[in-house]
Amino acid sequence: MAKGYYVKFETPADLVNPILEALRVASQSGKVRKGTNEATKAIERGISKLIVIAEDVEPPEVVAHLPIICDEQGAAYAFVPSKQELGKALGIDVTSAAAAILDSGDAQHIVDQVIEAISKVKGGKSDK
């Protein structure tokens, strides 16, 4: 399936698992918000550490605004290939188009590495 037009950069395949792992650990030991609306609020309030967006969202308009407001607010964000995997990493039985890590908990070192790697992928632009 083709990626949505909102996917601003290619997340390296070797970064997908650490992103999902960070979500998994943060949802158990930290604070995570699930879903597009919650992620949007977290970005606007400036409390998100990392926003994770699925690439296979239909219709794409559901999450198309997220990369734009992340860039405006200077929030770090990443893409994962599947909303199914995103839901699973969050520990829920349904798919999730987006998620926000508010408090990394025990996943702090993973989140830091992911943010650093993503800023390199985006062309050296550093977030925060």
C-alpha 46/C-alpha 73 separation (Å) is: 7
For residue 23, the model assigns a pLDDT of 93
pLDDT at 69 exceeding the cut of 60: yes
Q: What is the pTM of this model?
A: 0.88
Rounded to 10 degrees, the C-alpha dihedral 73/77/83/88 comes to: -110
Whether a cis peptide bond, with omega within 30° of 0, leads into 12 is: no
For residue 2, the model assigns a pLDDT of 58
What would the pLDDT profile of 21-63 be if each residue is shown by its tens digit? 999 999 999 999 999 999 999 999 999 999 999 999 999 899 9
For residue 13, the model assigns a pLDDT of 86
Per the prediction, the chain carries an average pLDDT of 89
Contact yes or no for 32/101 (Cβ under 8 A): yes
